[in-house]
Amino acid sequence: MGLFSKKKEETKGCCCGSSTPESAEQAKAANTASGVKVLGGGCAKCNALEDAVRAALAELEMDTSIDHVTDFSQIAAYGIMTTPALVVDGKVVSYGKVLKKEEAKAIIQKARADV
């Protein structure tokens, strides 16, 4: 009789069920990668930030690719809760607002100079 048998424990990655321990490890590994990343779900603000960063990189004559991260488990691994966010060489340099081209240019120059 199964009345008193133990229930099998289910393992979940997080409260939303979309994250797994494997995806969290992949996100942490991606955090250390160099380059420029825009974090956001793909809304108009996130796309505007990506456009501004692309224009700033063109003015700085940097041939750096921009990764647009839309996976919320990867975004959460950076420790931010508001998007859009800008990550330069694994470090969050801006979050929660859309930067203008000149602001993005200054932030990228400062982040690259600190390395």
The CA distance from 76 to 5, in Å, is 38
Asked if pLDDT for residue 11 goes beyond 50, the answer is no
The dihedral sign for the CA sequence 30, 32, 34, 39: positive
pLDDT band of 112, cuts 50, 70, 90: confident
Asked if pLDDT for residue 16 goes beyond 50, the answer is no
Give burial (CB, 10 Å; 0-12/13-18/19+) of 83: buried
Q: Quote the tokens at residue 41.
A: 């779900």
- What topology is assigned to 21-105 in CATH? Glutaredoxin (3.40.30)
pTM: 0.71
